[in-house]
Amino acid sequence: MPLYRLLPGILVLPCILLACAPVPPAAEAPAQPAPVPLPPTLASNPGMPQFAPTDLVNEASALTQRFVGTLLPTLQGAIAVGGPVGAIDVCAVEAPRIAQVLSEESGWEVKRVSLKARNSSMATPDGWETQVLNVFDLRQRSGEPPATLNVAEVVNGRFRYMQAQPTMPLCLTCHGSNISPEVSSALARKYPNDKATGYQEGQIRGAISLSKQM
Ligand code: HEC
């Protein structure tokens, strides 16, 4: 084999050896993840990369999955048993109860929020939640799959996390634009200031919002 064909190998070998040389341990290797950097403001950062410790993100994400995983079958069961009108009362009792049980179990504050709240006393978003919900809407409209939308951020020493709740076909019975007269009047009786109708499939109905003191 001519020498010029061997040359690259001869040159590359020492480089590989150097690259593989064991890296001496850092003098003070941090046991904990690096401190959370302060994120840019939400307004100027619509993509909102996650500036948060991954263990908290994982914990929050698992809690939102438990919330939905408990509420959805409860809702479906209630509709099967008592129809949508009966399910309204179940939803009104069960959703806050699940949120409370998860809060007590985990030490996180767990709630649901929406830009168009049905239960305005429980689901009205604060300033940060409003910004995140607006960003969710923007991202959903620009084509991102709504079920994947979540945001984690540390705000004033509190870890905050939100997971978008997309409108599925089932939700339209009580949140859509073609609601039956019986459901409409039952909703009007219970929620005179209801804003949570007129949704289409795929739109963001709201979010599960979690927070925990760091
Ligand atoms: C049987 C009627 C019914 C169906 C179906 C239904 N909801 Fe609701 N939804 C309600 C009622 C009633 C409330 C208010 C509960 C309360 O008082 O806390 C509510 C509240 C909410 C809230 C809390 C924010 C707010 O506006 O008060 C979210 C988020 C929500 N629903 C999402 C959904 C999603 C997503 C689906 C589909 C998977 C769905 N809902 C299906 C009746 C329904």
Indicate whether 93 belongs to any domain: yes
Q: Domain for residue 197, yes or no?
A: yes
Distance 156 CA to ligand 1 centre (A): 30
* Closest by Cα among 203, 128, 129, 139 to 165: 203
Tell me if the pTM is above 0.85. no
Q: pLDDT at residue 203 above 90?
A: yes
Residue-wise pLDDT for 72-100, tens only, equals 999 999 999 999 999 999 889 999 999 99
Instruction: Please report whether residue 200 resides in a domain.
Output: yes
Residue 49 belongs to some domain of the structure: no
Q: In whole angstroms, give the CA distance from residue 44 to residue 131.
A: 11
Q: Is 171 in the pocket of ligand 1 (CB under 6 A)?
A: yes
- Please work out whether the CB of residue 53 comes within 6 Å of at least one atom of ligand 1: no
Contact 151, 132 (CB under 8 A): yes
Contact 113, 99 (CB under 8 A): no
Mean of the pLDDT values across residues 194-200? Answer: 98
Ligand 1 test: best mutation among 174, 185, 197, most atoms within 8 Å of CB? 174
| Model pLDDT, residue 51 | 59
Q: Is 25 part of any domain?
A: no
- Is any atom of ligand 1 closer than 6 Å to the C-beta of 112? yes
pLDDT for 52 equals 67
- What's residue 153's pLDDT? 93
Q: What is the pLDDT of residues 158-190, one digit of tens each?
A: 999 999 999 999 999 999 999 999 999 999 999
Contacts of 170 (CB under 8 A, 6+ apart): 75, 76, 79
Residue given tokens 């003191």 in the structure block: 213
User: What does the pLDDT read at residue 42?
Assistant: 44
Q: Which among 211, 185, 209, 213 is positioned nearest to 197, based on CA atoms?
A: 185
- Strand pairing category for 158-166 and 109-113: unpaired
Is 136 among the domain residues?
Answer: yes
Q: Is the pLDDT of residue 36 over 90?
A: no
Number of compact structural domains in the chain: 1
Place of tokens 């001519």: 2
| CA angle, residues 167, 103, 150, in degrees to nearest 5 | 40
96-127: per-residue pLDDT in tens? 999 999 999 999 999 999 999 999 999 999 99
User: Does 46 score more than 90 pLDDT?
Assistant: no
111 Cα to the center of ligand 1, angstroms: 12
User: How far is residue 115's CA from residue 196's CA, in Å, rounded to a whole number?
Assistant: 9
Query: What pLDDT is stored for residue 53 in this prediction?
Result: 78
- Ligand 1 binding pocket includes 57 (Cβ within 6 Å): no
Residue 96 Cβ contacting ligand 1 at under 6 Å: yes
How many whole angstroms separate alpha carbon 109 and alpha carbon 100?
Answer: 8
C-alpha torsion angle, residues 136, 141, 142, 144 (rounded to 10):
60
What is the structure's pLDDT at 193? Answer: 95
Domain that holds residue 200: 54-116+124-213
Q: Is 27 among the domain residues?
A: no
Phi, psi of 158 (to 5 degrees): -110, 135
11 domain-assigned: no
Residue 45 or 89, more confident: 89
Amino acid at 64: T
Q: For residues 96 and 103, is the Cβ–Cβ distance under 8 A?
A: no
Q: Is the CB of 74 under 6 A from ligand 1?
A: no
